[in-house]
Amino acid sequence: MIKNLAKNISKSAAQSFSLEGLVKRTDERLLLPFYHSVTDRKPLHLKNLYLPRSIDQFKADLDFLQKHYTSISLQDLIEFNGKKEGLTNNYFHMTFDDGLSEFYAVVAPILKERGIHATVFLNSDFIDNKELFYRFKASILFEELQDEELLKLKYAEVDVLDGLANEVDTSFRKYLENEQPYLTSDQIEELIEEGFTFGAHSKNHPMYKELSLKDQIKQTIESIEFVKTKFNLDYSVFSFPFTDDGVGMEFFNQINELTDLTFGCAGIKEDSAKNHIQRIPMETNQVGKDIIKAEYLYCLMKQKFGRNKIVRE
């Protein structure tokens, strides 16, 4: 509640601050925007979950970012993380979760044209349209049944969605075949050739705080190993499905040796977990400039109270 209130205040107040002033006062020069999809059409599996950026909105975000920040590669980001404090220039690295096909069809051509680096995080069970994320199933069924309860179902309740689909004659298998929501291995290999980088995003996108530590580790290690081996990668990065909220220090201690960097999406924030960095969610109905400035202002407010660091138990 208070967090939302503070965020809303910072959204309206941010407009009267200059970006340069905010960057200087927070000393946060590394920006990590985070998206899922960019599309002018809303496929059913996304339609009832969140608002993807349109192509025009996305290009406007990039115009703003390129004006004030320099794009860096994942390799640079891995190098930078240890010495984030000493940065004198502004940098950004684009990230995309869930391994969606729009990255190949829409996003990559735009980024290539502008020379912008990006990393895509893949769910190992979904690559090649082998399986569908349970939230996407909920969005597809909601379109037909219009029942809000569908959108509240949890990871452990995926059987309910599969059962309902059977009853209303909806085939997720056919949906996967026709719609091809996910990147294929061939597309990923082509994107790697072009310089894009890839990481893991768990096997099948559970909410980590609902899992035991053992299952958190299993989802993480197995998805990382799969992505690294299949695409022959010499680096190892991971972004948390949904949120890293509630994930304890013991988890980070256990995976520390296996990853170069891990990513959350709590905005511009420090984190007590080593090699773990937070990103800015960009899928709201605001323009990118306002989203980013509001994040800076919120960060500044938290810094004043010494509370801009996520401390893990």
Min separation Cβ 39 and Zn ion, Å? 16
Min separation Cβ 232 and Zn ion, Å? 24
Q: How far is CA 34 from CA 24, 96, 184, 239, in A?
A: 22, 6, 21, 10
The set of residues, in sequence order, having a beta carbon less than 8 Å from that of 168 and lying 6+ positions away, is 141, 144, 145
| Nearer to Zn ion (CB atom), residue 28 or residue 244 | 244
Task: Round to whole Å and give the CA distance between 11 and 286.
Answer: 9
| Nearer to Zn ion (CB atom), residue 34 or residue 69 | 34
Q: For the segment 81-140, give every residue that binds Zn ion (CB under 5 A).
A: 97-98
Q: For the segment 232-251, give every residue that binds Zn ion (CB under 5 A).
A: 241
CB 158 within 8 A of CB 141: no
| Nearer to Zn ion (CB atom), residue 204 or residue 303 | 204
Give 285's DSSP letter: S
| Nearer to Zn ion (CB atom), residue 28 or residue 98 | 98
Question: Residue count at the site for Zn ion (CB under 5 A)?
Answer: 3
The set of residues, in sequence order, having a beta carbon less than 8 Å from that of 64 and lying 6+ positions away, is 287, 288, 289, 292
| Nearer to Zn ion (CB atom), residue 97 or residue 131 | 97
Which residue's CB comes closest to Zn ion? 97
Strand partners, 277: 263
Task: Write the interaction track for Zn ion spanning residues 3-22; mark x where CB under 5 A is met and - where it is not.
Answer: --------------------
Min separation Cβ 17 and Zn ion, Å? 31
Helix, strand, or coil here: 265? coil
Min separation Cβ 304 and Zn ion, Å? 32
Quick one: the chain helix, strand, coil %, rounded to 5?
A: 50, 15, 35
**Residues at the interface with Zn ion (CB under 5 A):** 97-98, 241
